[in-house]
Amino acid sequence: MDQNIKKKKKRKIQRWVFVVIPVILVVLFLGLLYKNEITDTLFSSCDAGNIVSKQGVDSEAQNINDTDTSDINVSCIIVDRKPDELFSVYIQPSNDEAYMLAYMDGHLYLDGDTDQPLKEGIDFSIQTYASFVHAEEPVADTSSPNSNTVGLSDFGLDHPSYYAEITYTDGERISLMFGSSIEENGFLYYYMKTDRSGIIYLVSADFYDAFSYRRHAMHPVDSPSLRTDLIDEIDISGEIVFSLRYNKGYWDSLSPVSYPLTDEKVDGLLNRIGNILFSSYIGEKDELDLNEYGLNEPRISVDIFMADTIVEGYDSNEVFYSEHVSGNIHHLLIGKDYNEVSYYCMYDNAVYIATYFTNGFWFDIDPYDFYLQNPVNIPTNALVSVSVENNDDTTVYLFDFAEHVLDNGQIQTDEETGEYIYDVLVYRDGDLISTNDFLSWYGQLTGLSFSGKLNESKTLADGKTPEISFVIKAQDIERKIDLVKEDALNYTVYINGTAVYYISGTKIEVLTKKP
């Protein structure tokens, strides 16, 4: 009995298996048919024979019309033209001004104006990818009846970041829409759709970049390239107040206080000014609303005064010429931020974008960093006289030079230049003294450094009598240094009537030990 029951159960299971298995096979077959249909649809406009590397176009090609596009990694070729078949490229960023590029004589020009050529690299990139429209691979077809669950919004194409319309010389046109990005195997790709089908493609970052430039990035940028050796004066106002002027070999501050400056600090500032770079050109000031860029009320204004100079050289006929060039003033205004890393600015008559990385130094300027940190910085070979006054006693040192005579009676000369070598003669109140003693004392004087910064700058008021005063005259400059005792420990140091720092009383003992 039990055996019969078991046999009947076995037969029932076997009949059920024979019913289910064909159903499963039919489902699988239909699934394969669906997959093949979608695949055939996606690749129907693709040439799958051009799959190569992921390196993009050779931007160093000498002739853009000779660029070998077969080395571009593609599976889908949509348009394959030569760059000289381009007529125009229209680009519309989602949140910026649209612009038209016209192709003429091998170059693209903004608004068809031959006076507005594009940056060389940008010109090459747009020509290359506008004439050879291609994709890495198709990813979806929004026009397929089986794509109910796939929409443009899934790829950022419901509100494209950039739209481009390319027109060719024979009248053919194609529109490109770019959506969101995706990273795959360490490479960045973007979704793209054309107006020719519902297929959505993946395109390379290089391809996307060619159509993602904003209008202001099109124009070549002319950076100042100032000759810093001709800068005579720099006036900075606004958020930073600092004026400095070159005077016969030395730099002095004019504001916020009148004070001598450290050569090394000024040289550093001049070097930064000489390397000013602008990242993008916006336009000429007369064509723009400066208020839109924060330039009607700039955060910082800079006037750079250039000295007269003589330009010499040879013309095309190898004839020597010498021309006087008058000095001029360059104006720089810094407006509002363009983004987190750059800002708008106006240099002379044009508006640009500059980055904080290259041009942010203006905001870091602190006049105190430039002020002379030691009261005496005039070298001995420039001295004409040194006067020292303390306790109503004045001592004057004068200098003269005499050829150095060797033991054999000959005048010593420099071995390399052949020029005479001179000895320094020092006279104290008219009497010749030891040169070495004076040089040792003056060396200690130039080695003095301030002990600290005053809470605010001071001017030498009437009624305040300095305990020690120096008047140092050089070939082109005169500097007066007054030390006024403020308390038992410190002296305020006035240079040409202005004090910014103080010095400890222990440091000035050397000053009273005159040679």
Please name the residues in contact with 345: beta carbons below 8 A apart, sequence gap of 6 or more: 278, 295, 332, 333, 334, 335, 351, 352, 353, 354, 359
Percent of the chain with pLDDT over 90: 40
Banded pLDDT at 462 (limits 50, 70, 90): low
Res 364 pLDDT > 50? yes
**Greater model confidence, 371 or 29:** 371
Mean pLDDT of 22-48: 45
| Sheet containing strand 468-474, strands side by side | 431-433, 422-428, 393-403, 383-390, 468-474, 478-485, 490-495, 498-504, 452-459
CB atoms within 10 A of CB 456: 8
Supply the pLDDT for residue 488.
Answer: 82
Banded pLDDT at 20 (limits 50, 70, 90): very low
Res 127 pLDDT > 90? yes
CB atoms within 10 A of CB 370: 22
Instruction: Calculate the alpha carbon distances from 113 to 89, 104, 117, 349 in Å.
Output: 14, 10, 8, 20
Supply the pLDDT for residue 12.
Answer: 42
Q: Which residue from 479, 505, 480 is spatially nearest to 492, judged by alpha carbons?
A: 505
Res 363 pLDDT > 90? yes
| Alpha carbon distance 111, 158 (integer Å) | 28
Report residue 74: phi and psi, to 5°.
-140, 155
Pinpoint the alpha helices (H) of 58-155: 120-131
Report residue 164: phi and psi, to 5°.
-130, 140
Banded pLDDT at 94 (limits 50, 70, 90): confident
Cα angle, residue 386 at apex, residues 258 and 448 outer, rounded to 5°: 65
Supply the pLDDT for residue 71.
Answer: 44
- Among left, alpha and beta (phi > 0; psi -120 to 50; other), residue 511 is alpha
Of the listed ranges 30-39, 68-77, 286-295, the one predicted with least confidence: 30-39
Q: For residue 314, give the H/E element and its range.
A: strand 309-314
Supply the pLDDT for residue 46.
Answer: 57
Supply the pLDDT for residue 238.
Answer: 96
Q: What predicted TM-score, i.e. pTM, was given to this entire model?
A: 0.65
Mean pLDDT of 105-126: 84
Res 53 pLDDT > 80? no
| Alpha carbon distance 76, 299 (integer Å) | 51
| Alpha carbon distance 116, 123 (integer Å) | 12
Query: What rounded mean pLDDT belongs to the chain?
Result: 82
| Alpha carbon distance 398, 384 (integer Å) | 6
Supply the pLDDT for residue 360.
Answer: 94
Res 137 pLDDT > 60? yes
The 10s digit of each residue's pLDDT in 373-393 is 888 888 888 888 999 988 778
CB 471 within 8 A of CB 386: yes
Res 37 pLDDT > 50? no
The 10s digit of each residue's pLDDT in 501-510 is 998 888 877 7
Q: What is the 3-state secondary structure (H, E, C) of 108-133?
A: EEECCCCCCECCHHHHHHHHHHHHEE
Distance of CA 429 to the CA centre of its chain: 57
**Greater model confidence, 62 or 76:** 76
Supply the pLDDT for residue 83.
Answer: 93
Res 38 pLDDT > 70? no
Res 371 pLDDT > 50? yes
Banded pLDDT at 299 (limits 50, 70, 90): very high
Supply the pLDDT for residue 22.
Answer: 52
| Alpha carbon distance 433, 386 (integer Å) | 14
The 10s digit of each residue's pLDDT in 193-203 is 999 988 999 99
Res 31 pLDDT > 80? no
Mean pLDDT of 80-106: 91
CB 196 within 8 A of CB 78: yes
**Greater model confidence, 58 or 283:** 283
Supply the pLDDT for residue 149.
Answer: 65
Distance of CA 231 to the CA centre of its chain: 21
Res 51 pLDDT > 80? no
Report DSSP letters for 201-230, one per residue. Answer: EEEEHHHHHHT---GGGTS--------GGG
Of the listed ranges 171-180, 396-405, 462-471, the one predicted with least confidence: 462-471
